[in-house]
Structure 1
C-alpha cells in the first residue's frame, strides 16, 4: 500500500526543525518554543529586492498561565526500521473537533501504542492499575489531549521494552507529547472551572505526563551536575505547571472517578514520615542563618515529604507513585532555592536521588539514583560532604546488600573523579586494578 502523501511544512522555525517536530508557524514565537522557553527564530527569507524579511530571536511571553512544554529528544538510540508501520499521516487525528465530513487518518502505530498501554501498567499505581487505565480511557475518548499523552507514554515505555527500536518509538513519544501539550495549552481558562470531570482529566494528564517527563530527564547522562540540574528543573516546571490547575480542587475530585486513586495516596501518606533517615538534614537546615521563614518552612516541608516517601511504601512500585507526587507537593520557595543552586537545597535533593535508587526496579528510574547522587557528591565536594553523608551511606549500604563483590565491576562511566576510585559523600569505593 502506498503511503499517503502529506504536506511538509517549509516555513517552520529553526528550533522546531532542529528538534524534528512539527511547528505551528506562529510568529514571532511559535507555541513549541514559547512553552519550552527556547529562543525562536525563522529562516531569513530574501525578497525580490534582496532585503531580508526574516525574524530575529525574541523572548517568549512571561507568565503565560499553565503554559508547559514537551521534553527534549534523546540522542543515544540506534535507528529502527519503520517500513510497513505507517498507514496514515505523521500524527493521529482522531476526527475530534475537525471539519464536517473529515475522516481521521488511520495509523497502525497508534493502534499498537494503545494496545500496549491497555496491556501494561506504565504509571506505577500497583493497586489501581486496571482502574487507572479504565478511567484514563474513559476521559481520553472525550479529551484528545489526554489521548495523545496516553499514546506518548506508551511509546516511551516501548523505548525501554524494545531498545533495538528505541529511536523510532522515542520520535513517536516526542511528537505525541508535543501535540498533547499544544492542545492542553490551547484550553481556555474556563475549562478548568467548568466541571469536576475536566479537573479529573487534568489530573490523569498530569500523572502520565509526569512519568514520561521524568523518564526523559533521567535518561540523560550529562557531563556536569549543573547541566543535570538545569534538566531536572525543566522537568520540575513542566510537571508542576500542569498540576497547578488542580490547586484547591482536591476535595472536590475525591467524589469523582479518580477519587480512589487520590485516596490511595492519602493512605500511603498516613503511614509515612516517622523514620529518622532525614533527621540530620532537617537539623542542619534549621541552623542555616540566612534562610527567611518562608524558605525555611518550604525546605522543611520538602524534607518531611521525602521522609514520607522513604517510610510510606517499601515496594518499589508503590514508592515510585509517591515519589512522583513529591515534585508537585513541594513549595515554590524551595523550588526557588534549587533554581538558585543553593547547596543546602541541593543537599535535600540528595535524599530525593537516594529514593530514586530505592525505586531502581521501576522502568522509569533504573540506575539514575546512583548516578545523580554520585554526580551531586562530586559537584558539592568535601566542604558539603557532611550534609549528604546520610544518603551516600545508605546508598553504599544498599549496593553492598545487593552484592558486595559487584563493587569491583561497577561501570567506570559512573566515576566522575579518578577512574580508580568512586567518591560518594566523602566515602570512597576503591576498584581492584585489572590483572
Structure 2
C-alpha cells in the first residue's frame, strides 16, 4: 500500500492543540477550524515556513518519472495538469465510494464548471486524480504522490484565502472541494502503515474523522442553499441512503457489548449505538445483491456521520469502541477491491486484536472470522 512520509509538526493552532488533533498550521485560520467553524488562534511566535507556489513548482519540476513529465507545473500550457484532467474525465473508479458511476459524467461536469470560477476546487480535483494515478502506477508513485501533495496544499491555501462563509454563490464549490478533500484524506489514512501500530493509526484516523465531520457541518448548514442547486438529485439520494433504517443483525454482538458496558455512560452508549446503526446500514448495502448505486457509500460516510463522543472514546482507545472499529474494518474488507481500501480492513483488525489481547476474542469473533475466511 502507498503511504506518505511526514515530519512532526509543532506549529499548530491553539484550538487544535486543545482538541488533540493534528493541525495543518495554515494562517490566519487552519483548515480544521475553517471546516468546523471554530475560532482559530496561534501562540505569539513566527509563523511556520510555508510552501509557496514558486517553491512547489520548482520541486515538482525536479521529480519526473520520464520525459513525458519533464515540463514544470506552472507553465502556461501544463501537460502534467492536462494528464490529471484527462484522467479525471475518463476513469469513473476514482469516486467509487459514492453513488452510481452512471451519474459520473454529469457530476464531473458540475465540478469542472464550478472549478473554473473556484480554483481551489479545480486544484483539489487534480490532486485527487494524482493520488489515484499513484495507486494505478506504483512504479511512478513517488512522482504522482508528490503531485497530489503539492496540488492539495495549493488547493487548501486557495480555499483558506477565499473563505468568507457559505452562500448561494459558492455552496456547490465549497461542498465539492470539501468532499473531494475528504475522499483524499480517507484514501491516505487507509493506506498508512506506520510502525506505531494502533496508536499511529488512531491518531491519523481521528484527524480524518474530524475533517469529515467538518464536511458534514458544511453540508448541514448549507442544506437549504444546496437543495436549490444542480446537486439536489445527488444530495437527495445520499440523504435517503444514510437515513435508512437498519435491517440486518450483523452488529448484534457489538450492540450487546455496548449495552452491557459498565465503563460507558449513557451518552457514550448512545453515541456508539448511532455509530452501530450506520454500520448496519453499510452492511445491509454491501451484502444486498440488488444494491448498486450506494453499495460502498457507507465506507466513506461512516467517518462523517459518527458523533463527536464516539471520536473522543476512540481517541481514548476504549476497548468497546475499538471492537466497534473492528466491525468497521469488516465493512472495509467487503470493499477490499476498491482502490482506496485494499487490505486496510485486515490490517486494522490485526492491530486491534494485537492491542486488546485474547480476553476480547469473544467480542471480536464475528469480524475476525469473516475477514480471515478464505474466499470460495
Q: Structure 1 length as normaliser, TM-score?
A: 0.69
Work out whether residues 309 and 323 of structure 1, in 8 Å CA contact, stay in contact via their aligned partners in 2. Answer: yes
Q: Aligned with 1:228: secondary structure? A: helix
> Is contact 1:214-1:235 (8 Å) kept?
yes
Distance in 1 (CA, whole Å) between partners of 2:359 and 2:324 is 15
SS in 2 for 1:319: coil
Q: Do residues 287 (structure 1) and 256 (structure 2) align?
A: no
Residue aligning to 1:361: 337
Other structure's SS at 2:295 match: helix
Q: Shift of residue 291 of structure 1?
A: 2.3
Match of 1:380 among 353, 356, 367: 356
- Counterpart of 1:175 in structure 2 is 150
Q: Which residue of 1 aligns with 2:122?
A: 147
Pair 1:231 & 2:194 matched: no
What CA distance in whole angstroms lies between the structure 2 residues aligned with 1:151 and 1:38?
20
Q: How does 1:63-212 map to 2 (within 5 A)?
A: 64-66=33-35, 81-88=65-72, 90=73, 92=74, 105-121=76-92, 122-124=94-96, 125=99, 126-189=101-164, 191-192=165-166, 194-195=167-168, 197-212=169-184
Counterpart residue number, 2:368: 392
> What is the root-mean-square deviation of aligned Cα atoms in Å?
3.0
Q: Deviations over 1:95-150 (max 9, x none)?
A: xxxxxxxxx73321001100100111111232422222121112111111110110
Match of 2:281 in 1: 308
Aligned partner of 1:253 in structure 2 is 226
Q: Is the 8 A contact 1:354 1:391 kept in 2?
A: yes
* 1:166-185 CA-partner distances (Å, limit 9, x unpaired): 11000000000111112222
CA–CA distance in 2 between the matches of 1:264 and 1:63? 27
Contact kept in structure 2, 1:239 and 1:328, CA below 8 Å: yes
Q: Quote how far apart the aligned CAs of 1:247 are.
A: 2.4
The structure, 1 or 2, with the larger RCO (C-alpha pairs under 8 Å, 6+ apart) is 2
CA deviation string 1:146-198 (max 9, x = no partner): 10110001001101111111110000000001111122223333x31x21x52
Cα distance between partner residues in 2 of 1:61 and 1:361: 34
1:3 is aligned to: none
Q: Which residue of 1 aligns with 2:44?
A: none
Q: Deviations over 1:333-379 (max 9, x none)?
A: 11111111111111111111111110011111111111111221111
Change (3 A) 1:19 1:288: closer
Query: Is the CA contact (8 Å cut-off) linking 2:257 and 2:363 kept in structure 1?
Result: yes
1:350 to 319, 326, 342: 326
Match of 2:59 in 1: none
Structure 1: how far apart are the matches of 2:76 and 2:213? 33
**Aligned residue in 2 for 1:406:** none
1-structure distance, mates of 2:303, 2:116: 28
> Deviation of residue 39 (structure 1)?
8.3
Per the alignment, do residues 311 and 29 of structure 1 end up closer, same or farther by CA in structure 2, a change over 3 Å counting? Answer: closer
- 2:60 alignment counterpart: none
User: Compared with structure 1, are the counterparts of its residues 146 and 19 closer, same or farther at alpha carbon in structure 2 (3 Å cutoff)?
Assistant: same
Go from structure 1 to structure 2 and tell me whether the alpha carbon gap of 1:316 and 1:384 turns closer, same or farther (over 3 Å shift): farther
**Paired residue secondary structure (2:312):** helix
Work out whether residues 133 and 144 of structure 2, in 8 Å CA contact, stay in contact via their aligned partners in 1: yes
SS at match of 2:321: helix
Q: 2:331 and 2:135 mapped to 1: Cα distance?
A: 21
**How many equivalent pairs are there?**
329
Deviations 1:239-273 (A, max 9, x none): 32344222233354233211221122234346661
Question: How far apart in 2 are the matches of 1:153 and 1:311?
Answer: 29
Task: State the shift of 1:331 in Å.
Answer: 0.7
Larger radius of gyration: 1
Could you tell me which runs of 5 or more consecutive residues in structure 1 were left unpaired when the two chains were aligned: 1-17, 21-27, 41-59, 69-78, 93-103, 404-435
| Structure with more of its chain in helix, by fraction | 2
Distance in structure 2 (CA, Å) of the matches to 1:348 and 1:123: 26
* Alignment check: 8 A CA contact 1:353 1:370 kept: yes
What does residue 53 of structure 2 align with? none
